[in-house]
Amino acid sequence: MRLVLLGAPGAGKGTQAAFLKERHGLAHISTGDIFRYNLKNQTPLGLEAKKYMDAGELVPDEIVMKMVGEKLSEFAPDEGFMLDGFPRTVAQAEFLKSKIKLDGVILFHVPDEEIVKRLSSRAVCKDCGNVTSRLHNDKCPSCGGELYTRDDDNEATVRSRLKVYHDQTEPLEDFYRAQGLLLEVNATGHPEEVFKQVIALLSHDKD
Ligand code: AMP
């Protein structure tokens, strides 16, 4: 299966991707994670992307499309994967359409104010990368590792990222709806409840 996970930052795409990977063995391609990995290793790609990431803006299409094109070429034609954080513009979606055939696009709906609340307490484990909330944890609940806050999870940057989502990424909802690919999920509940909806939609979609 080849899926796109669509939704605002903090809608839970990464958490659901982790479930789909762990329980259904689907490979997870997150463009944000690839940029953060490059930044950590101080590569030219990472340093270029940082300028945009810190401002809550999108990295230019040409850079992202080249990077994703290379990533996709690592997969055999029959291998499944899910894309998390890509595409984010219509140009990126057109590029993806020219490269692969998608089976579905899962759209995670969460109201903006809930997103701001979630991201202001979001924390990531330094050791295992698990994403959690500071409201309930001082240490990683999965491995006990130390938690850190992403540089772009401050309220001002979160509000810019939400505006960018509404302006540049939301048009993809109609783009994929028109192709009959959009599967919509109410993502305000507990992650396990959201996952049940995802699985129900995917099994229904296969029939
Ligand atoms: P994420 O982890 O998906 O929230 O991505 C973090 C940041 O990486 C975004 O705010 C953008 O600056 C950049 N980024 C990730 N994916 C893309 C993409 N598909 N197009 C442009 N910029 C991206």
Active site residue 134: no
Residue 102, phi-psi category: left (phi > 0), alpha (psi -120 to 50), beta (remainder): beta
> Do residues 92 and 65 touch, judged by C-beta distance below 8 A?
yes
Nearest to 165, CA basis, from 15, 18, 10: 10
Catalytically annotated residue among 161, 163, 177, 196 = 161
AA letter at 92: Q
Distance 204 CA to ligand 1 centre (A): 30
Spatial separation of the C-alpha atoms in residues 92 and 6, rounded to whole Å: 13
Spatial separation of the C-alpha atoms in residues 52 and 35, rounded to whole Å: 11
Catalytically annotated residue among 2, 13, 36, 118 = 13
- pLDDT tens digits for range 14-36: 999 999 999 999 999 999 999 99
Among protein residues, the one whose CA lies closest to atom 1 of ligand 1 = 32
- The atom number, within ligand 1, closest to the CA of 52 reads 12
Among protein residues, the one whose CA lies closest to atom 19 of ligand 1 = 86
Q: CA end-to-end span of the chain, whole Å?
A: 14
Distance 22 CA to ligand 1 centre (A): 23
Spatial separation of the C-alpha atoms in residues 105 and 4, rounded to whole Å: 5
Mutate to test the pocket of ligand 1, among 33, 40, 53 (most ligand atoms within 8 A of CB): 53
Distance 68 CA to ligand 1 centre (A): 12
Among 48-52, 66-70, 157-161, 202-206, the least confident range = 202-206
- pLDDT tens digits for range 76-128: 988 999 999 999 999 999 999 999 999 999 999 999 999 999 998 999 999 99
Nearest to 71, CA basis, from 54, 86, 50, 88: 86
pLDDT at 207: 60
- Proportion of the chain in helix, strand, coil states, percent, rounded to 5: 50, 15, 35
Distance 119 CA to ligand 1 centre (A): 15
Spatial separation of the C-alpha atoms in residues 68 and 90, rounded to whole Å: 15
* Residue ranges of domains in the chain, CATH in brackets: 2-110+171-206 (3.40.50.300)
